[in-house]
Amino acid sequence: MSDKLKTELDAIFNSHAETKKQIEHQKSEREVREEAFVQSFYGLRDSLIRPTFERIGEYIKAKGYKYHIETSEEQTDPEGRYQSPSISIRFLVGEDGSHYRSHEYPHLSVICEKGFSKLRFHESTISPGRGGHAGGAGDATPTELTADLINQKVLKVIREVFK
């Protein structure tokens, strides 16, 4: 093998190694940003979202209706599927003693979308034995998230469920 060929091959492999190194560095930076975003969501979940949900839930409880707050942590299942962390308030309406799966009740969820640095809202007005709709209800950045915004989103779901 000639020295010229070796030099050209070395240049290719050095360039490839540098590209891999840059990709790993970018991946590492992205992972650090995403982890910081998830941690900020956990802080907001505990300091703002849950207390807001609890105030609303206790108010509707005083009106004779039940509610339940659920949280899920960031995780990856054994098949490699990622689950975003979230918090939901479910309104246990239309209970007739039957047991329904939790997703069958009307709810509002706040979901941490770390890849986009957004908090996504998901609403459902579907109740056991009754129709409704389910789908996205907008998004917000952590700085845009306020108790008033959460109240508006919950109020929209409750308005649809109790009309």
| Span 113-125, average pLDDT | 95
Distance of CA 162 to the CA centre of its chain: 26
The mean pLDDT value for 48-71 works out to 94
The pLDDT tens digits of the residues spanning 64-73 come to 989 999 999 9
Q: What is the pTM of this model?
A: 0.78
DSSP element (H, E) containing 14: helix 3-44
Q: For the residues 17-27, what does the mean pLDDT come to? A: 72
52 vs 18 pLDDT, higher one: 52
How many folded domains does the chain comprise? 1
CA 152 to chain centre: 18
CA distance linking residue 57 with residue 84, whole number of Å = 24
User: By C-alpha distance, which of 102, 141, 138 is closest to 123?
Assistant: 138
129 Cβ neighbours under 8 A, 6+ residues apart: 94, 96
The rounded percent of the chain whose pLDDT value lies above 70 is: 91
Rounded Cα distance, 9 and 6, in Å? 5
Domain hosting residue 13, numbered range: 3-162
Q: 96-118 pLDDT, tens per residue?
A: 545 666 667 899 999 999 999 99
